[in-house]
C-alpha cells in the first residue's frame, strides 16, 4: 500500500477562515465600526475624542474625521471606512449616515444568514432594494429653480441643516449665509463644462475671537506678513509680480573656493554681489511693480532696496497660493527675474497687511477675477477652529451639491421612512426569499430615524411607530423633529438635505454590504496586521459560537 504524500498549497504561516465563520467575523468587524460612530448621528449626537500615538487630540462628531483617525486592523472594518471616505470625497457629507447604514445592512443580513438564507439571495435582494430606494429618492426629490426668489433661502436652509449636528450649530444662522455666499461667488464665473470645486474657496484658520467672527473675504488672504518693517503696509491699485525663483544669489551645488589676495579684491567681490542683487530690484522697479510675491526666499539686501523703493514684498508663499494668485490677478508666474516685463504684472485694487488676532495676514482684494473669495475661520482654540473648519467643509459641499444637482429631500429621517414604507410594499411583489432581503434593507434604513431619536433621548419605539403611521397616511415629508420631540413635517421645519448626498449614501452603503456578504473565505498570513478569526491588535471581533 503506497503512502499518501500531503500536498501543501498554502504557506505554513497562513491562516484560513471559511464559510459561516468568515462571514460572521467580517460582519461583526463592520458592525463594530458602525457602532463606534452611531452615537454621533444627528443634532443631539455626541462628540468623540481621538488620541493618536503622538498624543495629539482630535475632538469631533464628523464621521469622516472619526473614521479616518481610527487605527483599524480588520480588512472588513477598513471597507466600512472606505465607504465613508468615498461618500466624503464625492459629496462631502453623510459619512456618519453611510457608516451606520452599512453596519445596519450587515446586521440585518446576519439575521437572514442565521435563518439559512443563502448570501447570494441576500445580495440579490439588497441590489433590488437599493435600485428601488434610488427610484424613491428620485420620485420624492423636489427640483429647485436657481432663478427663483427662494433659491438662496433653500441653500441657506440646507447649509443650516448640515451644521445642525456640528459644534457650530449655535452659530449656524450666520455661518450658513457665509457658506452660501462663498459657493455662489465661485459659481458666478463657472463655465458650463467647468467643475464647481470647493478647493477654489481657500480657508484660512485663525484662533482667537469667537466662532461668529468667521467671515467671507472678497479676495485672497495669505497667512504671511511683509518681510521688511520699512515697506508700505498698503498698496492701492497694486501692480503685482509673482516669482517662483528666489530673490537671492544662488549657491553653487559643489564646493568652491575663492582665493583673495588683497582687501580690494575682497571689496570688489562684495560689490559685485551687491550689484547683482541691486539689478534684481532695478528690474522690478523698471516694470512698475508695487507688490512682490515670491514663492521662495528674498535676500536681506534685496529687502532693503525694495523698502527704499516703497515696494511691498512677501516670501515663502505656497505653490498652490501662487497658482491661485496667477488665476485671479492675471499675473504671470515668472521663473527668471531677468525675463520680467510689464505684461507679466497682475493687478488688484488693494493689497494690505492687517492684524487678525495676534497674527499679521496679507489681504488681496479687487482682483480681475471678481469671484475670488476666502473664508477666514475663527474660534477660541485650535481644536475649536479645526472643528469649525470641518463643519464649514461639510456645509460647503452640501450647498455645492444642490447647485450642481438642483434636487432636495427633507431630513429628520423622513426620506428613510418613505423608502422603508415603499420597500415593504415592493417586497410583496417579489417571490421567494428575496423579499426577506428587501424587508431587511427596509429595517436597516429605518434604523436611521431610530438612531436620531435615541441620540436625542426620545423613545425610539414611539417615534418609529408614529413615523410609519405618518408615511402610511401619505405624509411623505414627515420625520423626527428633534426640537419638538415628535414626528412632524420636515418641509415646514425647513430641514433640507441634498438629494445627491442621499443617493450616494444608498449607493456606497449597499455596494459595500453586498461585497462583504459575498466573502466566504479569508486567507491571511500570520504576519498580517490582523487575525483572520478576529480583529487583531485593535480589539476582538469574535462572535460567540452557535
Whether 491 and 479 have beta carbons less than 8 Å apart is answered as no
Q: pLDDT at position 258, please?
A: 61
Q: Give the predicted TM-score (pTM) of the model.
A: 0.83
Torsion angle of alpha carbons 166, 171, 177, 183, nearest 10°? -40
- Across the chain, mean pLDDT equals 87
Question: Annotated active-site positions, please?
Answer: 62, 95-96, 394
Q: pLDDT at position 138, please?
A: 96
81: part of which helix (H) or strand (E)? helix 75-91
Distance CA 479, CA 463 (A): 9
Q: pLDDT at position 2, please?
A: 54
Q: pLDDT at position 277, please?
A: 85
Distance CA 363, CA 467 (A): 51
Whether 322 and 242 have beta carbons less than 8 Å apart is answered as yes
The owner of cell 457658506 is 179
Q: pLDDT at position 10, please?
A: 58
Q: pLDDT at position 206, please?
A: 86
Give the pLDDT of the chain (546 residues) as one tens digit per residue: 456 666 556 566 666 566 677 778 888 988 998 998 999 998 998 888 888 878 888 888 888 888 888 878 888 888 888 898 889 888 989 999 999 999 999 999 999 999 999 999 999 999 999 999 999 999 999 999 999 999 999 999 999 999 988 888 888 999 999 999 999 998 887 777 788 888 889 898 888 788 888 999 888 999 999 999 999 999 999 999 999 988 887 665 556 666 666 666 655 655 677 888 888 899 999 999 999 999 999 989 899 999 999 999 999 999 989 998 998 899 999 998 888 999 999 999 999 999 887 889 999 998 888 788 999 999 888 888 988 999 999 999 999 999 999 999 999 999 999 999 999 999 999 988 999 999 999 999 999 999 999 999 999 999 999 999 999 999 999 999 998 999 999 999 999 999 999 999 999 999 999 999 888 766 666 655 555 444 444 444 444 443
Identify the CA nearest to 486 among candidates 453, 512, 454.
453
Whether 522 and 25 have beta carbons less than 8 Å apart is answered as yes
User: Where does residue 327 rank: exposed (0-12), middle (13-18), buried (19+ CB within 10 A)?
Assistant: middle
Q: What DSSP line would sit under 351-413, residue for residue?
A: EEEEEETTEEEEEEEEESSTT--EEEEEESSHHHHHHHHHHHHHHHHHHHHHHHS-EEEETTT
Identify the CA nearest to 310 among candidates 331, 334, 338, 281.
281
212: which DSSP letter? G
Whether 200 and 397 have beta carbons less than 8 Å apart is answered as no
Whether 408 and 158 have beta carbons less than 8 Å apart is answered as yes
The owner of cell 553653487 is 252
Q: What is the CATH number of domain 219-369?
A: 3.50.7.10
Identify the CA nearest to 140 among candidates 505, 474, 481, 424.
474
Q: pLDDT at position 542, please?
A: 42
Q: pLDDT at position 429, please?
A: 93
Q: pLDDT at position 428, please?
A: 93
Please state the domain extents for the chain.
14-143+409-522, 219-369
CATH class given for the domain over 14-143+409-522 = mainly alpha
Distance CA 179, CA 215 (A): 9
Amino acid at each position: 500500500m503506497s503512502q499518501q504524500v500531503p500536498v501543501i498549497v498554502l504557506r505554513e504561516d497562513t491562516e484560513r477562515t471559511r464559510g459561516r465563520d468568515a462571514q460572521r467575523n467580517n460582519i461583526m468587524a463592520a458592525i463594530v465600526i458602525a457602532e463606534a460612530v452611531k452615537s454621533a448621528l444627528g443634532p443631539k449626537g455626541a462628540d468623540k475624542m481621538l488620541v493618536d500615538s503622538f498624543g495629539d487630540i482630535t475632538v469631533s462628531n464628523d464621521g469622516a474625521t472619526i473614521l479616518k483617525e481610527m487605527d483599524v486592523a480588520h480588512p472588513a472594518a477598513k471597507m466600512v471606512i472606505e465607504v465613508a471616505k468615498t461618500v466624503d470625497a464625492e459629496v462631502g457629507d453623510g459619512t456618519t449616515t453611510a457608516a451606520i447604514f452599512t453596519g445596519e445592512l450587515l446586521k440585518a443580513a446576519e439575521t437572514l444568514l442565521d435563518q439559512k438564507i443563502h448570501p447570494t439571495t441576500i445580495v440579490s435582494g439588497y441590489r433590488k432594494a437599493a435600485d428601488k430606494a434610488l427610484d424613491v429618492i428620485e420620485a420624492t426629490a423636489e427640483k429647485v429653480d436657481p432663478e427663483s426668489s427662494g433659491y438662496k433661502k433653500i441653500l441657506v436652509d440646507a447649509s443650516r441643516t448640515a451644521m445642525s449636528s456640528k459644534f457650530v450649530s449655535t452659530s449656524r444662522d450666520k455661518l450658513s449665509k457665509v457658506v452660501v455666499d462663498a459657493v455662489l461667488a465661485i459659481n458666478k464665473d463657472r463655465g458650463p463644462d467647468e467643475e464647481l470645486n470647493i478647493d477654489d474657496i481657500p480657508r484660512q484658520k485663525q484662533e482667537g475671537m469667537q466662532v461668529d467672527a468667521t467671515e467671507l473675504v472678497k479676495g485672497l488672504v495669505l497667512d504671511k506678513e511683509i518681510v521688511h518693517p520699512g515697506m508700505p503696509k498698503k498698496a492701492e491699485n497694486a501692480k503685482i509680480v509673482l516669482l517662483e525663483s528666489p530673490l537671492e544669489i544662488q549657491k553653487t551645488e559643489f564646493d568652491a573656493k575663492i582665493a583673495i589676495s588683497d582687501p580690494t579684491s575682497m571689496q570688489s567681490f562684495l560689490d559685485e554681489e551687491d550689484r547683482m542683487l541691486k539689478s534684481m530690484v532695478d528690474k522690478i522697479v523698471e516694470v512698475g511693480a508695487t507688490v512682490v510675491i515670491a514663492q521662495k526666499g528674498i535676500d536681506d539686501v534685496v529687502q532693503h532696496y525694495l523698502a527704499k523703493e516703497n515696494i511691498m514684498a512677501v516670501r515663502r508663499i505656497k505653490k498652490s497660493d501662487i497658482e491661485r494668485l496667477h488665476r485671479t490677478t492675471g499675473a504671470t508666474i515668472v521663473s527668471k527675474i531677468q525675463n520680467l516685463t510689464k505684461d507679466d504684472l497682475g493687478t488688484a485694487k488693494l493689497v494690505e497687511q492687517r492684524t487678525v488676532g495676534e497674527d499679521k495676514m496679507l489681504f488681496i482684494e479687487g482682483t480681475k477675477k471678481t469671484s475670488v473669495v476666502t473664508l477666514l475661520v475663527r474660534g477660541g482654540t485650535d481644536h475649536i477652529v479645526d472643528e469649525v473648519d470641518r463643519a464649514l467643509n461639510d456645509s460647503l459641499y452640501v450647498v455645492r451639491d444642490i447647485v450642481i444637482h438642483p434636487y432636495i429631500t427633507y431630513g429628520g429621517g423622513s426620506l428613510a421612512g418613505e423608502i422603508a414604507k415603499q420597500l415593504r410594499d415592493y417586497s410583496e411583489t417579489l417571490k421567494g426569499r428575496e423579499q426577506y432581503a428587501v424587508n431587511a434593507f427596509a429595517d436597516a434604513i429605518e434604523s436611521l430615524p431610530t438612531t436620531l431619536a435615541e441620540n436625542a433621548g426620545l423613545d425610539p419605539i414611539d417615534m418609529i411607530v408614529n413615523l410609519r403611521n405618518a408615511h402610511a397616511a401619505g405624509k411623505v415629508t414627515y420625520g423626527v423633529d428633534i426640537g419638538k420631540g415628535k414626528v412632524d413635517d420636515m418641509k415646514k421645519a425647513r430641514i433640507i438635505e441634498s438629494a445627491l448626498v442621499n443617493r450616494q449614501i444608498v449607493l456606497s452603503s449597499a455596494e459595500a454590504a453586498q461585497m462583504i456578504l459575498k466573502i466566504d473565505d479569508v486567507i491571511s498570513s500570520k504576519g498580517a496586521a490582523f487575525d483572520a478569526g478576529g480583529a487583531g491588535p485593535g480589539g476582538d471581533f469574535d462572535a460567540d459560537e452557535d
